[in-house]
Amino acid sequence: MGVHDITYLLFSGNVEVVSDDELLAAINEAAQREQQIVDDQLRAGCDLIINKRGGSKCVVHRTTCASVAHYLDRRAEWLPNGWTVELLRREIRHGGFSPRMPQLATEDDLEEIPTYLSCQICKPDLKRQFKKSADSKTSDPNKLGEDRIGRRFVSPETPEPWTLVRIERTITAQGTTTVLYDENGSVPLSPGTRVRLLPKEPALG
């Protein structure tokens, strides 16, 4: 029986047909394969881990954060310190065993997530520390950040999408006034209007 077949058994929960050696070989193989994926992503510049905790709440960490860094060591995840083959067999019998892979990301990848919070312990260096789901629908121009410059928007007062090139903000006792500019000048916006961010266009080539 090939190693791949044993790996399949690990997930199916049927572990009785393999010897201890075969079981350990299958685990080593799975850990190595996963380590390759993790290392490739780290090399590609992923420096964040998106951790989903119950429900849909995503928390964004640095890859060095103690609460998630352990996910990067795949062998230690598959074979935690002090574990025996017998313990492993018991886990597998109880419905299969496969430790969770980390979801590695770059800051750009966070655009694709409708909502997240950043970890308050490792405090990743992000332009936006959190994102609420409403942000992906429409935004209050007074709350638009400089990181949106260069992005395309639509608003009720303009027939065509426009590209944000500059934000001019005046803060007075009466409140905040924001003027948004595109290549042609100030963008007409009625008081209280909201703007809608368009998804990034795929890069050509």
Helices (H) and strands (E) in the chain, counts: 4, 11
Q: How far is the CB of 47 from Zn ion (least distance, A)?
A: 12
Distance CA 42, CA 45 (A): 5
Q: How far is the CB of 64 from Zn ion (least distance, A)?
A: 9
DSSP state of 44: T
Q: Using the rule CB under 5 A, is 65 a contact of Zn ion?
A: yes
Q: Using the rule CB under 5 A, is 48 a contact of Zn ion?
A: no
Binding segment (CB under 5 A) for Zn ion, from list 63-71, 102-110, 160-168, 186-194? 63-71
The site that binds Zn ion (CB under 5 A) totals a number of residues, namely 5
Q: Using the rule CB under 5 A, is 61 a contact of Zn ion?
A: yes
Q: Of 104 and 180, which has the nearer Cβ to Zn ion?
A: 104
Q: How far is the CB of 49 from Zn ion (least distance, A)?
A: 8
Binding segment (CB under 5 A) for Zn ion, from list 16-24, 116-124, 148-156, 189-197? 116-124
Q: Using the rule CB under 5 A, is 122 a contact of Zn ion?
A: yes
Strands (DSSP E) found in the chain: 48-53, 57-62, 103-105, 116-118, 130-131, 152-154, 162-163, 166-172, 175-182, 185-186, 196-197
CB atoms under 10 Å from CB of 131, counted, come to: 19
Q: Using the rule CB under 5 A, is 119 a contact of Zn ion?
A: yes
Distance CA 69, CA 49 (A): 9
Q: Using the rule CB under 5 A, is 60 a contact of Zn ion?
A: no
Q: Of 3, 54, 47, give the one whose Cα is nearest residue 25.
A: 3
- Residues 59 and 113 sit within 8 Å (Cβ to Cβ): no
Q: Using the rule CB under 5 A, is 6 a contact of Zn ion?
A: no
User: What are the residues binding Zn ion (CB under 5 A)?
Assistant: 61, 65, 119, 121-122
